[in-house]
Amino acid sequence: MKAKYDLVVIGAGPAGTPAAMAAAQFGKSVLLIDKREAPGGECLFEGCIPSKVLENAANRYDEVLRAKQFHIDESSVQIHWEEVLKDKEEIVAKRSKGALMQFERLPTLEFVQGNAVFDDAHTLLVDGTPVQFDKALIATGAKTSFPPIEGNGMDKVWTNRDVFFEKELPEEILFIGAGAISCELAQMFNKLGVKTHILERGERILKRVGEEAALAVQNKMIEKGIGIDLNVQLERVDYEEGRFSVLFNRNGESETLLSSHVLMATGRVANVDGLNLEKAGVAYDRHGVTVNEQLQSTQAHIYACGDCIDAPKFAHTATYEAGIVIHNMFAPMKHAVNYDKNSWVLFSDPQVAVAGLDEAVAKARGMEVTTAKYDFVQDARAQLDKAAEGFVKFIMDAKTKVIIGVEVVSEDAASLSGEAALIVANKMTTMDVMKAIHPHPTLTESFGRLAQQVFFQSMMRPKRG
Ligand SMILES: Cc1cc2nc3c(=O)[nH]c(=O)nc-3n(C[C@H](O)[C@H](O)[C@H](O)COP(=O)(O)OP(=O)(O)OC[C@H]3O[C@@H](n4cnc5c(N)ncnc54)[C@H](O)[C@@H]3O)c2cc1C
């Protein structure tokens, strides 16, 4: 480590790593610091990548078990969990090694393992060693937010930091919370034959997902035997003789569920404790570091992005923000973040892909919107795949027909997420979408069909006056 850098970046996840690399490409001297010995962040080690490796294996196993419908004998299929875990380790190691090799090509970038805390507005202490900086980026991510629940089991429950390291599949697992993390993992374990149950305080699962899409996932879970208890208040989590005893309250009545494993996924809270942000004069609250729309903190030369700010918590959103930060730090023109074009995929069954604004959010902002839906039941590709459930929905500005949001529910919604993101980011109208010639038979035809449907309906509608 040198005594001074143009930029110090705290956290080497999907926010910090691309930011550090971009600044080094600009020729700036950059110190990238992470508590872990390798770059990648929560996304690589305990988030996106491990969850998707395991889910991928579970989905393929499940597909083979369902292959009977394509006249394939599935009778002797087995899954070797320990080999799946080895695959996960290999992919994680390959990706972090790949990042380190990219760093080597950037002579002004230095990566160090260590704990960074602020000493003042221009000094960090990295494992106690002072380092001066001109600019800093806080990209420290988030962790599971634990509700204040009593019981001797609370320090034994799993979070995403434990679940991907178990050598053996659990017999049963109880998820607390029904957000994206729980739903993806519950369906994965269910496909592998693990008895799975979810407790949720809200009246439905996936509160950040449109209601129709969330219900499609909820119904599939129920059909596959995942237990779901909604509208419950968690009261205690105890652990005795190798089993958790989870006490909850529903409509004033106490109930107990027993399970060998409990996974807590009750929301995420920014990793800002212990950074000594007060010493740097950087404001924060329980949602994370306070930033303006250029991602500057209350100290103009210190920026923050990724899961440690109050914004959508996705790896690609963190990377998008990193681009904005580096631009705003070092280029003359300043850019503001625009989450109205954010997109994401829930790797559930069926999958849900979203781009842009949700209907409820648009209406809450006072926008006049109209929606149109294409049902996959009529779709050639979906029929061929024997997966004719789900839909594509456009959320449009009622007057201009600009598509401000797209929602897809399908076994393969992820494959449509790129087009959905492009439509929204480019503020395309249904006419624009109609100009593309979508290949047959693919699920992407649904976009063209839906655009045509909207166009012909508007032609047939009697004109006013
Ligand atoms: C189970 C799970 C599945 C997910 N799946 C997806 C998915 O499919 N798609 C998707 O887009 N997103 C997914 N996410 C979310 C995604 O992982 C996060 O949005 C992303 O990791 C945020 O990136 P980040 O760089 O802000 O933070 P992180 O990836 O959390 O990285 C922050 C880094 O900062 C380091 N750090 C923290 N404090 C300090 C300090 N004081 N000193 C030094 N280093 C420090 C940490 O060690 C960490 O490596 C998932 C998350 C979970 C938990």
Q: Which atom in ligand 1 lies closest to the alpha carbon of residue 274?
A: 41
Domain enclosing residue 333, as ranges: 4-143+269-337
- 319 and 454, same domain (yes or no): no
pLDDT at residue 463, as a whole number: 59
Q: Which of 8, 42, 313 to mutate to test the pocket of ligand 1 (most atoms within 8 A of CB)?
A: 42
Among candidate residues 307, 337, 367, the one where a domain is terminated: 337
Ligand 1: which residue has its CA nearest to atom 27? 141
- 246 and 281, same domain (yes or no): no
Q: What's the total number of domains in the chain?
A: 3
139 lines ligand 1 (CB under 6 A): yes
Residue 23 in contact with residue 102, Cβ under 8 Å?
A: no
b/e 131-148 (16+ beta carbons within 10 angstroms → b): bebebbbbbbbbbbeeee
Q: Which of 253, 250, 248 is nearest to 234 (CA)?
A: 248
Q: Hunting for tokens 């700010």 — which residue is that?
A: 309
- 276 and 370, same domain (yes or no): no
The amino acid sitting at 326 is: I
Q: Which of 55, 119, 140, 144 to mutate to test the pocket of ligand 1 (most atoms within 8 A of CB)?
A: 140
Ligand 1: which residue has its CA nearest to atom 37? 140
- 255 and 353, same domain (yes or no): no
Whether residue 315 is contained in a domain is answered as yes
pLDDT at residue 459, as a whole number: 79
- 126 and 10, same domain (yes or no): yes
Q: How many CB atoms lie within 10 A of CB 306?
A: 35
Q: Which of 8, 21, 36, 43 to mutate to test the pocket of ligand 1 (most atoms within 8 A of CB)?
A: 43
- 25 and 64, same domain (yes or no): yes
For residue 318, give every residue at least 6 positions away whose Cβ sits within 8 Å of its Cβ, in sequence order, or none.
13, 14, 15, 43, 139, 305, 306, 307
Among candidate residues 310, 337, 364, the one where a domain is terminated: 337
Whether residue 456 is contained in a domain is answered as yes
CATH number, domain of 214, equals 3.50.50.60
412 lines ligand 1 (CB under 6 A): no
Tokens for 133, please give them.
């900086």
Whether residue 377 is contained in a domain is answered as yes
42 lines ligand 1 (CB under 6 A): yes
275 lines ligand 1 (CB under 6 A): yes
Mean pLDDT per 10-residue run, the chain (465 residues)?
98 98 97 97 97 96 92 90 96 97 98 98 98 98 96 96 93 97 98 97 94 96 98 97 96 96 96 97 96 98 98 98 98 96 98 96 96 96 93 96 97 97 97 96 97 88 59
- 139 and 276, same domain (yes or no): yes
Tokens for 436, please give them.
């593309």
Tokens for 236, please give them.
């205690």
CA of 409 to the centre of ligand 1 (A): 26
- 229 and 255, same domain (yes or no): yes
11 lines ligand 1 (CB under 6 A): yes
- 196 and 210, same domain (yes or no): yes
Whether residue 150 is contained in a domain is answered as no
- 31 and 103, same domain (yes or no): yes
Whether residue 42 is contained in a domain is answered as yes
Ligand 1: which residue has its CA nearest to atom 9? 48
pTM over 0.85: yes
Whether residue 198 is contained in a domain is answered as yes
